[in-house]
Amino acid sequence: MKSLQKWTLGILILGSLTAGGAAFAAPSKTKAPRRDVTLRGAVVDADTGSPLACRLYLQGADGTWYFPHSIGGAAVEYKRQASAKLVEMHTSLTAHPFEVALPPGKYTLTAEHGKEYLTTTLTFEHSENAKPLRVALKRWIDMPSRGWYSADTHSHRSVQETPVLQAADDVNVAFPLTFWLTKAFLPPVNGDKNQPVAVTPKPVYADPTHVYWPLNTEYELFTVDGKSHTLGALFALNHKAPLQNGAPPVKPVAKEVHGQGGLLEIDKHAWEWTMNIIPLMKVDLFDLTNNHIWRTGWGVAGWGIPAADYMHIERTAEGWTEAGWIDYGFQNYYALLDCGFKLRPTGGTGTGYHPVPFGWGRVYAHVEGKFSYEKWVQALNEGHSFVTNGPLLMMDGVFLASKSPATKNGRPANACDVVGEASSVEPLDRIEIVANGEVVQTLAPQNRKSAQGGYTSRIDASIVIAESSWIAVRCFEARADGRVRFAHSAPIYITGNGKPLRPRKEEVAFLTKRVKDEIARSEGFLPSAAMAEYREALHTYENIAKTAEDRVQMIDTKSAEAWQAQGEADFKEGHIYNALESFDNCLRLAPERKPYHWQRGIALYYAGRFAAGKAQFELHQTVNPHDVENAVWHFLCTARLGGIEAARKQLIPIERDARVPMAQIHQLFAGKITPADVLKAAKAAPETTESGEPMFYANLYLGLYYEALTDRAKANEYIQKAAVRAKQNGYMGDVARVHAERLKLFKSIVDGSR
């Protein structure tokens, strides 16, 4: 959990039940006297008018944070700041009115209530004559009515706070880590960070659908016999008595936890010992929405064991991107599933330590009939679940066709129907079906807007399997801010054609290397019993390797040139993610081409992977230093990540691009001239040149310029003008046409006409 040791000294660690009302701001040597006026308000359900518990953010125009307290209920303040931008300052409130003393002035208030209500943000002036605020939150989907109930499986908040947090963020089930130890061999009953509370082994209900289990343990081991030697983290959930076994060795821990009816959960895939202990402990759960995924921003770029080359994980000079970190987690999970470890996915936040609210990443499990804690845990353990940090993904299931010969309509007997529904607050970008670790089908979401304000897409697809398989579904929101919001279902297992599932050789090689590296690193630190366990884990993977196959991939049947052509064709059809996959397959066969691959950079921009796009254009600059277009696309990615001013400061200087009006376009993005100057230069040039039409390029880059300024009307105006001349301007003409079509699609979604 505490994987940020080297830089967390500056994190403010405060969080408690409070009578509240305090402000939080950077210390100042002199403070002008202020005259506070009490603000009162209430958060209600927009449809029923009933009081609603919530998570509340309140900030003054000067940047000061304020923390209301509850009138007649309870409030919990939470204050974490990892950097200037990674700030989590909120109050969790029960369903009662609130009040707070504020100096007169302008304020912004944001209220949230879990994943099933729309966020409400208000900007208001506060004065002595201010009326009470009424903040209405709109429910856009009702998951419990469909039998789905949520949980946060990684919480370092106290048992006293937990019911308030559950109410505020509508988390049905919680597992506060009442036992927490950081030293090897120390038994949890004597853990060095245990909560000072007496707990009994029974569920604690706040109401019929909100409950927490009070006996849960985190082994998070950083030292061995007083010496620094990080092992990693593991959760024991739902055990019935304080655990007596320290670790390592780990098999006695697993026996004790499972003997008490508990579940073992892997915290993060990139801890040192993770791949060693999974085969030893028969681990039950794998945290896909782990505690490095935050509401406030991405901030953990440089942590963890490196990925394997075959994974092609997205990185920048700083380290993992958020998309890369999440993809790395997916691919670790898939490798383990392919090796036969039937881990069920979970979601947790690490709240109490990281700048992230309770329940931000969570797991939903489906309960038949009336809710109970026991039925929910059973559903989680059986994999009737999905994890999310945003969208909601409800799978009806995967259904195998009859094993009789193909039907008259040609449908093969080994076809699988994949059926379900994905819903989200923002429109979905894509829905992907994953089989045995590979994306086998990408679906375009319908994004039908509901009367309640969300978007819904039915999943009704068919895939063909050739062997026993596991199948899962994942979906991603389309977000202008470049953040990753996803949902991922639990795997469903299908037996096909009598052939067992076999892992790929590169997957087992990765897992084996992880274990070998950890054995080498731990020699001289761990006792002989622990090292014997590690060697047992290695032996398990080596036996699995005997069954692994060089799975014939489609990538091997085409040349790099063919994959490049396929990627360009995919892009022209608007299939951005297919294009990226084809481009990446090209680079797998010809990695030396990566610096030259500007087309991939453009595709990354349209996929919303701005950090990776920026890195691609920086790499392209090393082989093509005189291209204004490369500098502009780099600017566009940078602007999406950090704003226009940051993009201008990082604008790549370009000389000797003689194409008209490229010099003017560069000056425009630098903020030195106006759009009219670009148009004037283009109009003065010949209508057609060897490098294309000057007016086409003027319109294209003016459209992109206005898009960076978030002026949608002007962006659309110029992009549409450029798209008219698409056929005459090669690949960049296709870029203009694809962009224009995406703008039309976006407008139809926003207008509700789709």
Instruction: Please report the DSSP string for 612-648 in residue order.
Output: HHHHHHHHHHTT-TT-HHHHHHHHHHHHHHH-HHHHH
Rounded mean pLDDT, 323-348 = 96
How far apart CA 391 and CA 403 sit, in angstroms, is: 35
Model confidence at 641, pLDDT cuts 50, 70, 90, reads confident
Mean pLDDT of 587-609: 90
- The first and second tokens of residue 504, run together, are 């790929």
Kindly list the distances between the CA atom of residue 122 and the CA atoms of 38, 113, 136, 188, in Å, as whole numbers in the listed order.
18, 15, 10, 46
Provide φ and ψ at 131, rounded to 5°.
Answer: -85, 160
Query: Worst-scoring range by mean pLDDT, 299-308, 411-420, 581-590?
Result: 411-420
Q: pLDDT-derived band of residue 552, with 50, 70 and 90 as boundaries?
A: very low
Q: How confident is the model at residue 32 (pLDDT cuts 50, 70, 90)?
A: low
- The pLDDT, as a whole number, for residue 621 is 95
**Helices 662-669 and 694-708, packing angle to 10 deg:** 10
Please determine, for residue 4, whether its predicted confidence score (pLDDT) is greater than 50. no
For residue 26 the two structure tokens come to: 């950077």
The reported pLDDT for the residue numbered 23 is 63
Q: What angle do CA 566, 572, 577 make, to 5 degrees?
A: 65
**Section 667-678 average pLDDT:** 96
Q: Which pLDDT band holds residue 408 (cuts at 50, 70, 90)?
A: very low
In sequence order, what are the residues at sequence separation of 6 or more whose Cβ sits closer than 8 angstroms to the Cβ of residue 517? 305
Structure tokens at 11: 């994190």
C-alpha closest to that of 473 among 414, 426, 430, 425:
430
- 651-675 mean pLDDT: 95
pLDDT confidence tier of residue 475, bands split at 50, 70 and 90: very high
Residue ranges of alpha helices (H) inside 282-410 are 322-338, 373-382
pLDDT digits (tens, 9 = 90+) for 73-121: 999 999 999 999 999 999 999 999 999 999 999 999 999 999 999 999 9
For the chain, what's the residue count? Answer: 754
Residue 346, CA distances (Å) to 95, 291, 472, 487 in order:
28, 11, 14, 11
> Which helix (H) or strand (E) covers residue 493, if one does?
strand 492-494
Predicted pLDDT at 555:
61
CB 398 within 8 A of CB 471: yes
Helices (H), ranges, 709-729:
712-724
**In the block, which residue shows the tokens 């004065």?**
127
Question: What distance in Å separates the CA atoms of residue 330 and residue 350, rounded to the nearest whole number?
Answer: 19
What integer pLDDT is reported at residue 411 of this predicted model? 58
d(CA 306, CA 207): 44
CA distance 491 to 385: 9
The arithmetic mean of pLDDT across residues 298-313, rounded, is: 91
Predicted confidence at residue 499, as pLDDT, reads: 74
Contact, 391 vs 422, CB < 8 A? yes
Q: Is 50 exceeded by the pLDDT of residue 404?
A: no
In order of 119, 423, 429, the CA distances from 453 in angstroms are 11, 11, 17
> If pLDDT is split at 50, 70 and 90, which confidence band does 403 have?
very low
Which helix (H) or strand (E) segment holds residue 207: the answer is: strand 204-207
Angle, helix 730-751 to helix 694-708, in steps of 10 degrees: 40
| Dist CA 328 CA 270 (whole Å) | 9
pLDDT at 206 over 60: yes
Tens-place pLDDT, residues 496-540 = 666 788 899 999 999 999 999 999 999 999 999 999 999 999 999
Q: What mean pLDDT is predicted for residues 362-381? A: 98
pLDDT interval class at 388 (50, 70, 90) = very high
How confident is the model at residue 745, as a pLDDT?
67
Neighbouring C-alpha atoms within 13 Å toward the C-beta of 478: 21
Backbone angles phi, psi at 69, to 5 degrees: -120, 165
Q: Which two tokens stand for residue 309?
A: 């080359």
The answer to whether the bond into 661 is cis (omega within 30° of 0) is yes
Q: What number is the average pLDDT over the span 149-173?
A: 98
Lowest-confidence range among 216-220, 268-272, 397-401? 397-401
- Three-point CA angle 227, 230, 231, nearest 5°: 125
- Which of 271-275, 396-400, 419-423, 580-584 is predicted with the least confidence, judged by mean pLDDT? 396-400
Q: Give backbone dihedrals phi and psi of 53, rounded to 5 degrees, phi first.
A: -65, 155
Check pLDDT > 60 for residue 751.
Answer: no
Domains for the chain: give ranges and CATH numbers.
Answer: 8-137 (2.60.40.10), 142-389 (3.20.20), 391-501 (2.60.40.10), 505-545 (no CATH), 611-751 (1.25.40.10)
Q: Which residue has the tokens 């996929």?
A: 607
| pLDDT for res 479 | 83
| CA 636 – CA 705 distance, rounded (Å) | 8
Residues 407, 606: Cα–Cα separation, whole Å? 40
What's residue 549's pLDDT? 78
- Residues with Cβ within 8 Å of residue 179, at least 6 apart in sequence: 188, 189, 191, 194, 195, 215, 216, 217, 218, 242, 243
Q: Is the pLDDT of residue 12 over 50?
A: no
When mean pLDDT is compared across 126-140, 536-550, 719-733, 738-752, the lowest value belongs to: 738-752
Q: Does 5 score more than 50 pLDDT?
A: no
pLDDT one-digit tens code per residue, 442-453: 888 889 998 999
CA end-to-end distance (rounded Å), the chain? 43
Nearest to 468 by CA among 507, 444, 427, 498: 498
How far is it, in rounded angstroms, from Cα 146 to Cα 376?
A: 14
Record the pTM. Answer: 0.81
**Cα-based distances in Å from 666 to 136, 596, 670, 714:** 46, 21, 6, 19
In the chain, % of residues over pLDDT 90: 75
To the nearest whole number, what is the mean pLDDT of the chain? 90
Q: Does 463 have pLDDT greater than 90? A: no
Q: Which of 80, 81, 253 is nearest to 156 (CA)?
A: 80
Give the residue among 565, 605, 606, 602 at the shortest CA–CA distance from 582: 565
Residues 6+ apart with CB under 8 A from 27: none
| Rounded mean pLDDT, 677-689 | 93
User: pLDDT at position 753, please?
Assistant: 46
pLDDT value of position 31: 56
Q: Which of 332, 266, 728, 290 is nearest to 503 (CA)?
A: 332
**What residues contact 483, with CB distance under 8 A and at least 6 apart?**
297, 298, 322
